[in-house]
Amino acid sequence: MSTRRKDHKGRVLKMGESQRNNLTYEYRYVDSLGNRRSVYAPTLVELREKEEKIQRQLMFNDNYAAGEITVMEMVEHYLSTKQGVRQSTKVGYQFVLGVLRKEEFATRKINTIKVSDVKRWVVKLHNDGRGYSTICSVRGVLKPAFQMASDEDVIRKNPFTFKLTDVIPNDSEHRIALTKEQQETWLNFIREDETYRKYYDEFIVLLHTGMRVSEFCGLTKKDLDFEKRRIHVNKQLIRAKSVGYLVEKPKTKSGDRFILMSDQVYQSLKNMLANRPKVKTEMIVDGYKGFIMLDQNGKPKIALHIENEIRWSLKKYSQLYPDKPLPHITPHVLRHTFCTNMACAGMDISCLQYMMGHADAGVTLNVYTHVRYETAAAQMARIINFGLPARDENERKIV
């Protein structure tokens, strides 16, 4: 019987382990493609930690190739390939993982999943009270994860390719735009209310620029050009539990843009700067400082601050005027309303796309605009001169 190798301290070395002349350690193994590999470590303990990771990965590779990993393991493997994504995207991934951890479906082996299994699971999520948008988010991760497995011939077919609305109804709230009367009612209430009047200028800027709320929070003094009366939108400010405050680029490449200051926006921005709290030390976030909106602690406001301001103001309004209800208002509703107002006023779609920072004009047309009959009828009448006397007989002729 051959004597097992030992290191200089007399410890027995496992198969594949060896100690080098400089007293460091080496582990040799064959990867899943049949290639010989080596890893090194200064101590035997560290080497065996690496060995354990390698063995787990080799076992995973073997199981993956056979379709024997679970749905959760596959999703985690897929997400490990998504490097360099935005922090907000990472938060979305963590949300989906949180949903999956509570589901028995996530423990199933991927080679056992059929289309009917997925459809039944989607129905279960819906019956459990998960909203349509949540289910879309979950599907938005699982579908490409299964597609990756399908492309690598781990499974025969992606079971997530069906249309979601064929299985569950889209019961999510449709985006709304406030009517002119609703805008006036809410803003008049804000302007006159002793508690919420201090937020009036913030709401005016959101309503009359169409900025995303994270873009609004990301504005600094340097982004405001009062001489040329324009706002430079070039970043968004967010706050994540794991990393705190951070600045990211706009949502799309088209998000870097300039927005005209209307008279109302010009005055509201001036008011906001005049009423901005005095701070001894400006907080710097990723090299930026001088954010125009600060909370009571002197830190930059984030989207949650604005959302709470609107929510609390609506709650008070509904208590005071229960017989004059207003729809649910959010910063995004104000953005929709701005876009709709501009579209109804006749702004060219390419110009409106630029102002909204949309990468695709189809989004501007199909999602963010809500043209009503009155507006459509007025424009139609103007175009065909319907119901109006012609200026001369030639205008009555149809060519």
| pLDDT in the model for residue 364 | 64
pLDDT digit string, tens, across residues 7-36: 999 999 999 899 999 999 999 988 766 788
Task: Tell whether 294 and 196 lie within a shared domain.
Answer: yes
User: Which residues does 267 contact at the CB level (< 8 Å), separation at least 6?
Assistant: none
Domain membership flag for residue 117: yes
Domain membership flag for residue 367: no
Domain membership flag for residue 3: no
Task: Tell whether 143 and 246 lie within a shared domain.
Answer: no
Going by C-alpha positions, the residue among 164, 152, 179, 85 that lies closest to residue 121 is: 164
From 273, 308, 330, give the residue that closes a domain.
Answer: 330
Active site residue 321: no
Q: Report the alpha-carbon distance of residue 210 to residue 336 in Å, rounded.
A: 7
Task: Tell whether 251 and 113 lie within a shared domain.
Answer: no
| Alpha-helix runs per DSSP H in the chain | 44-65, 71-79, 87-101, 115-127, 132-151, 180-192, 200-209, 213-217, 263-274, 303-320, 331-344, 349-356, 361-366, 373-384
Q: Which two tokens stand for residue 262?
A: 């209307």
| pLDDT in the model for residue 327 | 93
Catalytic residue, from 212, 239, 257, 305: name it.
212
Active site residue 212: yes
Domain membership flag for residue 208: yes
346 DSSP assignment? T
Q: Report the alpha-carbon distance of residue 115 to residue 126 in Å, rounded.
A: 17
Going by C-alpha positions, the residue among 232, 249, 254 that lies closest to residue 359 is: 254
Task: Tell whether 325 and 288 lie within a shared domain.
Answer: yes
Task: Tell whether 217 and 147 lie within a shared domain.
Answer: no
Tell me how far CA of residue 158 lies from CA of 118, 204, 383, in angstroms: 10, 47, 50
Show the low-confidence residues of the chain (pLDDT under 50).
1, 388-399
Catalytic residue, from 130, 251, 270, 299: name it.
251
Domain membership flag for residue 383: no
Task: Tell whether 309 and 226 lie within a shared domain.
Answer: yes
pLDDT digit string, tens, across residues 110-139: 999 999 999 999 999 999 999 998 999 999
From 309, 330, 351, give the residue that closes a domain.
Answer: 330
| pLDDT in the model for residue 31 | 76
Active site residue 77: no
Task: Tell whether 203 and 81 lie within a shared domain.
Answer: no
Active site residue 5: no
Task: Tell whether 243 and 192 lie within a shared domain.
Answer: yes
Range of the domain at 129: 71-166
Task: Say if residues 250 and 237 touch (Cβ distance below 8 Å).
Answer: no
Domain membership flag for residue 396: no
| pLDDT in the model for residue 397 | 38
Catalytic residue, from 48, 86, 175, 332: name it.
332
Task: Say if residues 178 and 337 touch (Cβ distance below 8 Å).
Answer: yes
Task: Tell whether 264 and 315 lie within a shared domain.
Answer: yes
Number of domains in the chain: 3
Domain membership flag for residue 348: no
Domain membership flag for residue 352: no
Active site residue 175: no
Task: Tell whether 269 and 316 lie within a shared domain.
Answer: yes
Active site residue 101: no
| pLDDT in the model for residue 341 | 87
| pLDDT in the model for residue 398 | 33
Q: Report the alpha-carbon distance of residue 86 to residue 93 in Å, rounded.
A: 11
Give strand ranges (E) for 234-295.
236-240, 244-248, 257-260
Catalytic residue, from 301, 335, 336, 370: name it.
335
Q: Report the alpha-carbon distance of residue 246 to residue 214 in Å, rounded.
A: 11
Q: Report the alpha-carbon distance of residue 133 to residue 346 in Å, rounded.
A: 32
